[in-house]
Amino acid sequence: MFVRTIEPAFYDTDALGHINNTRLPAWFELARNDLFRLFTPDLDPRQWRLIMARMEVDFRAELYYGSDIEIRTYLSRLGNSSFTVTQEAWQEGKLTNVGHAVLVQFDHQAKRAVPIEGALREALEAHLQPLEEPVGA
């Protein structure tokens, strides 16, 4: 599991006085940087090997500007060429959001999925932490 702290900016808020819902997919992408480094160690976009197939975010409680947010990131499923990243947002001890992103190892030139094998597969398995409940189903 990877753990990150995000400090909200004023522009992350909306007129309801809380963090706008569209910021969660953005923060979750930022927090996937650790995972991205397993695929592309120097994060060079020209060597990018991933594409998003699906995202889900549950909103269980509101997030606010003015205190840090902890993002926990782990794999909840590892398939042949795709995997599910589960991410949690916590603020002041409360779980506010759970997100699932289905990512696919992808050859952006050939526009096709690529199996996850060898050392990369082992590196991902080290962050695999199956959910007790089925994901999005």
Cβ–Cβ under 8 Å, residues 8 and 19:
yes
* 46 vs 118 by CB, closer to a second copy: 46
Q: Pick from 2, 38, 39, 48: which binds a second copy (CB under 8 A)?
A: 48
Window 65-104: contact mask with a second copy (x via CB under 8 A)? xx--------------------------------------
Q: Is 29 in the site for a second copy (CB under 8 A)?
A: yes
Q: Is 39 in the site for a second copy (CB under 8 A)?
A: no
The two structure tokens encoding residue 27:
């923060």
Q: Is 131 in the site for a second copy (CB under 8 A)?
A: no
Q: Is 15 in the site for a second copy (CB under 8 A)?
A: yes
Q: Pick from 3, 79, 108, 129: which binds a second copy (CB under 8 A)?
A: 108
Q: Dihedral sign, CA of 30, 35, 38, 40?
A: negative
Strands, E assignment, the chain: 2-6, 50-59, 69-78, 82-91, 94-107, 112-113
Q: Is 46 in the site for a second copy (CB under 8 A)?
A: yes
Helix, strand or coil for residue 56? strand
Amino acid identity for residue 109 in this structure: Q
Q: Is 33 in the site for a second copy (CB under 8 A)?
A: yes
* 13 vs 81 by CB, closer to a second copy: 13
Partners of residue 97 on adjacent β-strands: 59, 89
Cβ–Cβ under 8 Å, residues 115 and 104:
no
Tell me the window of 38-46, 75-83, 85-93, 121-129 that interacts with a second copy (CB under 8 A). Answer: 38-46
